Structure 1
């Protein structure tokens, strides 16, 4: 587990520098908010399209091998983008292509990682392992954007793309030291569609699961898309440019680190209730931007939202891994990611083209309201309120 964490932390640090660099690369090239929406949409569309295939492969093949493949491809892609940036003007279509390659890597990385963690941990240490994963995400999202913002302001986005490529290479070296895992044993060989149907049956049989995924899809459509598309433009116009947006994302990461550390030390008796309360905090990231608040208030709101995310992500992953049979876990995780992310490309493009017409503050206020409504709706479900950390009822294979 130690080498897995080291590789994950290293590659993620480089990856978390990229959003600042990519946003200001698009804006500095004159492509505007609409161009940024297209690039961000391109980064998530391949994840949505291929993540179910990634889930099937992660339940059929070595999950470690899929992680290695994903990071290796993204290392080459980011190196190529860096070279292009240093040697000439990068067109919008090329920025979309490289963003899409990163999204494709995520489609195979995420379900493989979710399935690999339980094979490296006992049940008693599963929440701690997920908390350490979440903590790594948090620390990276704290340091990465801040470093990325400083590097973009001092040099250019190409420097960040090159560092990201190196971080993937280092991540691959650590992953090579992770024990090789075997594919889950299968009584009979089945077709891909049969595997997908089995995963879907497991997914839809649990109301707490599909309701939580629906909540995430609403949050991504109305909240996260507005935050990530409009935030850089607001920072460029009135908060101080890339450094300000880097510090804002760093504030988000600092909050997530605090939330993750809490979950290392404490076990939630009702994990989904605690997770959904944490997700309510995302509204705090949107409101200061909508109200044209000064930078300290924007960073403080990001910190509150990040704290909630650190709690939410740890408890959601732990619940999923403890309640879903291991032989279908990656497929169910893929349906989780698919449902959560399917609205994000649309949200990016919608915000990019419509915000100049209806106003950025309107989109941000709507996003904050939807974050509260969606989380509260899931909290009202008896399945969510009744599931406890030691509840075994949901862990079964549906025939």
Structure 2
């Protein structure tokens, strides 16, 4: 593959922040603003319609089931089709589904099956969006600047989620969840428009493949032969599931009964977002030599929010806990993205990203669906303590994997891997999320 010469960035932008990196970041910020509030709005829309914790979990699971079903197909297509077109089409689907969701809620006639169906449409769109988006982003920066670029990108997304969570909580409290869902639909429209302007003139033509199944097998071999990769994905299969149950199902219920409703819960989520911004600032300066060791150690504090909800802590203390966990997970997120950028071959990026995301979300539908029954069987407090315990035990288990402890940052040199800014956007290494369009993908990174 021939890498085109680097293009000059405009004055006021770093040399590595080319046109495509800037457009991708701006689009992710737009959806971050909408999604942070929409996550809260969907839960409260179900509660306002007379649903209970089980119904909240079912609607959340309805979004995740098609994401699990179609994600591998989305990854294979993203390695075959122009990725920017896949992204724009997915944004359009998400825009329409959220607009319909908002209209139903505002009409006062929303039924559970309708909310679940529209959530499923949104999840299908994201299944095709995420693998393409991850490859697009990571291919826009050089290896030398990868860590800093990913940190700035994540800071933009997480900063938008601070405003989005605070806006969502306030808007829901004042005018109800329907208008927040309408804002999210508009954010998807803006993001799709920005991504339509990506410069793809230098996209390297794709080599004809041996069919989708052959492509998926190649991606699986790349994934399965790296112990550090599959062990962390297995860890987050459970970690993300219990975090999803704790924060998407139990969190709004605890807020409704003990904290004062949607506004303080939105502020607590905003505190998490503020922590991720600080973590991003830290990672623009800190370059841990052992990428995954540093990142995995920082997963341990993610057990604290579930414990805080179990007690439950007052809102100010809950916000502190969320802030600390946000800082910690951002260290993991940037370290993970840098490791993938460094280690994964560019031509297999979207497929590996699809396996990564599939493993990370595979148990989410089950956890969301079982959150209500678990509360009935064991009580909400015991269920939340169980979430914290699982996170701690699995993270300690991953630290026993030698490759996780030993994988080192490769200093850039003449043979360093990675295309230049605004290089061939058809390929690039995978990222663990957050893609803003998902809201929260990997433990909230």
Aligned partners of 2:245 and 2:334: how far apart in 1?
Answer: 22
Aligned equivalent of 1:253, options 263, 273, 282: 273
Aligned partners of 2:408 and 2:141: how far apart in 1?
Answer: 20
Aligned partners of 1:380 and 1:189: how far apart in 2?
Answer: 38
TM-score using structure 1 length: 0.95
1:43: which partner in 2?
A: 63
The answer to which of 124-133 and 16-25 deviates more is 124-133
- Give the alignment's Cα RMSD to 1 decimal: 1.8
2:131: which partner in 1?
A: 111
Structure 1 unaligned blocks of 5 or more = none
Superimposed CA distance per residue, residues 150-179 of structure 1 (whole angstroms, 9 cap, x where no aligned partner): 000000111111111111111122112221
Aligned partners of 2:155 and 2:54: how far apart in 1?
Answer: 33
- Offset of 1:187 from its aligned partner? 4.2
1:347: which partner in 2?
A: 367
1:299: which partner in 2?
A: 319
Contact 2:274–2:323 (8 Å) recurs in 1 = yes
Q: Does residue 1:233 correspond to 2:233, yes or no?
A: no
- Offset of 1:136 from its aligned partner? 2.5
TM-score using structure 2 length: 0.85
- Offset of 1:353 from its aligned partner? 2.1
1:369: which partner in 2?
A: 389
Aligned partners of 2:124 and 2:326: how far apart in 1?
Answer: 25
1:170: which partner in 2?
A: 190
The answer to which of 278-287 and 78-87 deviates more is 78-87
1:276: which partner in 2?
A: 296
Contact 2:151–2:283 (8 Å) recurs in 1 = yes
Aligned partners of 2:82 and 2:368: how far apart in 1?
Answer: 33
Aligned equivalent of 1:387, options 407, 413, 418: 407
Superimposed CA distance per residue, residues 53-81 of structure 1 (whole angstroms, 9 cap, x where no aligned partner): 11111111111111111111111111122
1:323: which partner in 2?
A: 343
- Offset of 1:27 from its aligned partner? 0.9
Structure 1 runs (4+) greater than 6 angstroms displaced: none
1:137: which partner in 2?
A: 157
- Offset of 1:260 from its aligned partner? 1.6
1:338: which partner in 2?
A: 358
Aligned partners of 1:184 and 1:352: how far apart in 2?
Answer: 49
The answer to which of 178-187 and 131-140 deviates more is 178-187
Aligned partners of 1:181 and 1:349: how far apart in 2?
Answer: 45
Which protein is richer in helix relative to its size? 1
Aligned partners of 2:367 and 2:392: how far apart in 1?
Answer: 18
Contact 1:62–1:182 (8 Å) recurs in 2 = no
Structure 2 unaligned blocks of 5 or more = 1-20, 418-445
Q: Does residue 1:356 correspond to 2:370, yes or no?
A: no
- Offset of 1:183 from its aligned partner? 6.3
